[in-house]
Chains A and B, each alone.
Chain A
């Protein structure tokens, strides 16, 4: 699967070719071992693997937040050496500023781009509605629940309308119920405004439910060992999609690949 045709790479929103990463120099810990993959425009791809396998490292490299040794990474046709403007990144901890209200946290990324708060007020109120946080626009992060905070963090990335979204276990710290809710919301948003999404997760169910493709990483040093296409019809919804027989087949298959049983 490491043989990538040239035409694949031209269509690619994200292309990772034989990327390696060492922590602490070439003699240090090898985190990634010639990992390769191609993600097409508007594709929703989930990345799963055992903990410590380098999933987050790969996401940070694609996001331009981390250097790498050997190989090539390009996003939207640009070589990645630093974060790219058209890429939004959502982290596991909602990186909200405690001194800013929900509204002002939402527009932080647009402020960086030089837009004034006034010019953004329309888009902010739309985003607050989309996130179901109508009543909380003027509230501060410490007044919100964990799930609401994570919604704001996702909204902060969405409001910039990026073509590529990189999400690093965005729901990892949430309880199962909140997680299911946010999965659905993310799915709805993605159906409405298609973007290329790379989602790192440790939940196999979440990966199958959301993604077009699930990439499976090996134990450290991480490389992408399986590429499972998820052929479930869209639009998907919480009940009927999970009741499909194929859903369980994917679940069994991926559990097996990850060595759960």
Chain B
């Protein structure tokens, strides 16, 4: 087999595998006569996906907006916090333990309180997303800032580089791939944060739609909504992977 065909075959393996799982699912539901409000067959899920596409789109945009705002804040604050912890010893002794302690609180349990504080609107979801996404970004950025090889630090010292020059031309490029790794971990968590926020208190968004569809017995719509949530996660994740190509030197 030539390598071109082999590449083609490799690319086909995942779709074929999913197709196979779908076929087994579809077949089992029919063969075992499972009620569709308990487990709808994939065909029904895709039908619901198509029929409710306008609804999924508008609710999806709500969730997307929450995720983007919360994630952006998590990135900004995460960079600021890790920069502070990295450069100020006092911050390492005070803010760092605080961040670790806050991470220990189950954020799901905080959701009702945040709804009470910030209301039913956008803000409470943004805070939830922020809380879910912050920790991985802080930890990985901090790890990146601490990963500058000693021999390069010494080299910059020998060149009499200023602290700012060393940061800009050495520490920052070294830290960037680590930061993007953190973003990749944080992003699916951010989407979970938005959905959890919508579960606890909201009249909009995909999380709210899941609650509505499930309680109305429209399990096919529940599954269709889950697909929409996953799609948001995957699309944003692949955007970060595109950004990652800009820091290609990580493995060199």
Q: Which residues of A are in contact with B by a Cβ distance under 8 Å?
A: 63-65, 82-83, 85, 89, 91, 93, 95, 97-99, 108-109, 111-112, 140-142
Contacts and interface: CB of A to CB of B under 8 A. Distances in A.
Interface string B137-165: 00000000000000110111111111001
A169 to B, nearest CB: 13
Given A85-B160, A109-B159, A142-B252, A65 B169 contact: no
Given A93-B151, A98-B249, A99-B249, A112 B157 contact: no
A112 B170 CA distance: 12
B139 to A, nearest CB: 23
A65 B173 contact: no
A89 B158 contact: yes
B158 A65 contact: yes
A98 B160 contact: no
A108 B157 CA distance: 12
Contacts of B161: 112
B173 A63 contact: no
Given A65-B154, A91-B151, A142-B252, A97 B159 contact: no
Contact of B170 (A64, A83, A97): A97
Q: Is the interface of B mostly helix, strand, loop or mixed?
A: helix
Contacts of B158: 63-65, 83, 89
Contacts of B173: 97, 99
Interface of B: 151-152, 154-162, 165, 169-170, 173, 247, 249, 252
15 contacts: A64-B158, A65-B154, A83-B157, A83-B160, A93-B151, A95-B151, A97-B170, A99-B173, A99-B249, A109-B159, A111-B165, A112-B156, A112-B159, A112-B161, A140-B252
Contact of A95 (B152, B162, B247): B152
B165 A112 contact: yes
Contacts of A95: 151-152, 155
B201 to A, nearest CB: 46
Nearest to B248: A99
Nearest to B158: A89
A140 B249 CA distance: 10
A141 B251 CA distance: 12
Contacts of B154: 65, 91
A63 B158 CA distance: 7
B158 to A, nearest CB: 4
A112 B160 contact: yes
Nearest to B160: A83
Given A93-B151, A112-B159, A98 B252 contact: yes
B217 to A, nearest CB: 56
